[in-house]
Structure 1
Amino acid sequence: MLAKETTNLTFFLPDTSNSEGAIFFDSGISAGFPSPADDFKEERLSLDKELVKNKEATFFARVSGQSMIDAGLDDNDLLVIDRSLEPENDKIAVCFLDGEFTVKRLKVEKDGLWLLPANRNYKPIKISPENEFVIWGIVTNVIKKL
């Protein structure tokens, strides 16, 4: 992956050169009692194929910060961002605001646009004409380490 770091996010391009994917068992994994393993069907699963719908417009970015923890986006999570999707109310977006990238939930109202954090320790941001502002892409998935 090619990386570019900014203050709040580190961006990566998907590497689609290895299309084989990891081994995938299509029988489900029991979260209760174990089931017999004799019927496993082995296939290959590519996370790029599962998570990247538009290869030319998709990027990954690593989260830095705590402003979206109540939306399930934690520090060091990896975001899948699609730049071809239209911004909509209530979508989580990566935005370029006054020289820095940030990830926030969009709130579109008659009187304007708000960027909403998902952590009560952070304040909503009302976008004004004075702001240098671009909605850079829409978050489609998050990849977490457990």
Structure 2
Amino acid sequence: MKLSPLYSNGVSCGFPSPADDHKEQPLSLDEHLITNPPATFMARANGDSMQGLGIFDRDVLIVDRSLTPMNGDVVVVALDGQLACKILDLKRGRLLSANGNYRPIPVWEGQELIVEGVVKASIRYHRMGDKKH
């Protein structure tokens, strides 16, 4: 992947601040987002059930299979063969959405639940005309 410059000062999302031309070392999004390439895959989010966590329809999910899923992690799971992105609630044995319009999904004994990986990051496009998919 091509390296892009990273500005050392953050970009104000409130009132503008004076420009700072100081740049840090170039930033590779692969190195920044993917710490274990052989165990990482990307998937596209589908639907609005995770909007409360900032994951929107068509966002790209960066998923790491090498991470041990923990309670409260955002994960990609296969539940009875159906893929979903949900919050893992290990304490209550269920999967949660981040949108109040969706009920928790209980995981019953005998159901096949496979955690495909932990979602480390998501990428959202803001200029729709430039989105390639």
Q: TM-score, normalised by structure 1?
A: 0.76
Of 5, 18, 28, 1:35 maps to: 18
Give yes or no for the alignment of 1:92 onto 2:66.
no
What is the aligned residue count? Answer: 125
Matched-pair identity in %: 38
Give yes or no for the alignment of 1:131 onto 2:114.
no
Offset of residue 27 of structure 1: 3.7
Show the counterpart of 1:102.
Answer: 84
* Post-superposition CA distance 1:45-95 (Å, at most 9, x none): 101101111111111111011111112111011111110011111111100
Q: Distance in 2 between matches of 1:36 and 1:139?
A: 34
Q: Which runs of 5 or more structure 2 residues have no equivalent in the other structure?
A: 127-133
Q: Distance in 1 between matches of 2:54 and 2:10?
A: 24
Give yes or no for contact 2:42–2:63 (8 Å, CA) kept in 1: yes
Give yes or no for the alignment of 1:44 onto 2:26.
yes
Q: Distance in 2 between matches of 1:36 and 1:119?
A: 38
Q: Distance in 2 between matches of 1:27 and 1:123?
A: 41
Q: Which runs of 5 or more structure 1 residues have no equivalent in the other structure?
A: 1-17
Show the counterpart of 1:140.
Answer: 120
Of 53, 78, 92, 2:60 maps to: 78
Give yes or no for contact 2:5–2:23 (8 Å, CA) kept in 1: no
Show the counterpart of 2:130.
Answer: none
Show the counterpart of 1:8.
Answer: none
Give yes or no for the alignment of 1:119 onto 2:99.
yes
Of 13, 27, 48, 1:66 maps to: 48
* Post-superposition CA distance 1:111-132 (Å, at most 9, x none): x510011111111111112322
Deviates more, 1:45-54 or 1:127-136: 127-136
Structure 1 runs (4+) deviating above 4 angstroms are none
> Higher strand fraction: Structure 1 or Structure 2?
1
Q: Distance in 2 between matches of 1:90 and 1:105?
A: 6
Q: Spell out the pairing of 1:4-19 with structure 2 (5 A cutoff).
A: 18=1
Q: Distance in 2 between matches of 1:107 and 1:46?
A: 33
